[in-house]
Structure 1
Amino acid sequence: MILRKFAGAAAANAILLSFTTGISHAESVAVPDVSRTINTVDGWRMKVAFTEVSINAVPNMAAALLTREGFLSGRVTITVEGDGAIPVNSGQLVLGAQLGCQADLSEGLDLDFGVDLDTDLLFENIPDLGIGPDIGTTLHSGGITTTGLGAKSLKGRTATISVLDAHVKIDECGGAASVRLFASAQMSTDSSDDSVNIYSAVLPL
Structure 2
Amino acid sequence: MRIRGAIVGLVGLLTSAVVGVVGSGAAAAEPLADKSREVATDDGWQMRITKTDESIDRYPNLAATLFTREGFVSLKAVADIDGMGSAPVNSGTIGLGYQIGCQVDVTNGAAIGLAIGPSITIGVTSGVGGSATITPTVYLKPGTITDIPFGTKPLAGRHGSITSDQVHIKIDGCMGPVSLRSYAQVHISTPTADNSLAVYGDPIYL
Question: TM-score, normalized by length of structure 2?
Answer: 0.81
Q: Which residue of 1 aligns with 2:25?
A: 25
- Evaluate the alpha carbon distance shift between residue 42 and residue 17 of structure 1 in structure 2; reply closer, same or farther with a 3 A threshold: farther
CA drift at 1:157:
0.5
Matched, 1:142 2:149: no
1 CA distance for matches of 2:48 and 2:62?
39
Q: Which residue of 1 aligns with 2:115?
A: 112
2 CA distance for matches of 1:62 and 1:43?
53
Q: Which residue of 2 aligns with 1:14?
A: 13
Higher CA-based Rg: 1
Asked if the contact 2:18–2:65 (Cα under 8 Å) also holds between the matched residues in 1, the reply is: no
Aligned residues: 187
SS where residue 90 of structure 2 aligns? Answer: strand
Question: TM-score, normalized by length of structure 1?
Answer: 0.81
Q: Which runs of 5+ in 1 are unaligned?
A: 1-7, 119-130
Deviations 1:145-191 (A, max 9, x none): 11111111101001100011111111111111111211121001011
Q: How does 1:27-42 map to 2 (within 5 A)?
A: 27=27, 28-42=29-43
Asked if the contact 1:21–1:176 (Cα under 8 Å) also holds between the matched residues in 2, the reply is: no
Matched, 1:172 2:173: yes
Q: How does 1:148-167 map to 2 (within 5 A)?
A: 148-167=149-168
CA drift at 1:64:
1.4
Q: Which residue of 1 aligns with 2:193?
A: 192
Deviations 1:13-36 (A, max 9, x none): 624756999793322211100000
Q: Which residue of 2 aligns with 1:203?
A: 204
2 CA distance for matches of 1:21 and 1:39?
50
Task: Determine what percentage of the aligned residue pairs are the same residue.
Answer: 34
Which structure's residues are more often strand, by fraction? 1
- Evaluate the alpha carbon distance shift between residue 150 and residue 30 of structure 1 in structure 2; reply closer, same or farther with a 3 A threshold: same
Asked if the contact 2:17–2:66 (Cα under 8 Å) also holds between the matched residues in 1, the reply is: no
- Evaluate the alpha carbon distance shift between residue 147 and residue 16 of structure 1 in structure 2; reply closer, same or farther with a 3 A threshold: farther
1 CA distance for matches of 2:56 and 2:24?
14
CA drift at 1:77:
0.3
Structure 1 moving runs of 4+ over 3 Å: 8-13, 15-24
Asked if the contact 2:18–2:64 (Cα under 8 Å) also holds between the matched residues in 1, the reply is: no
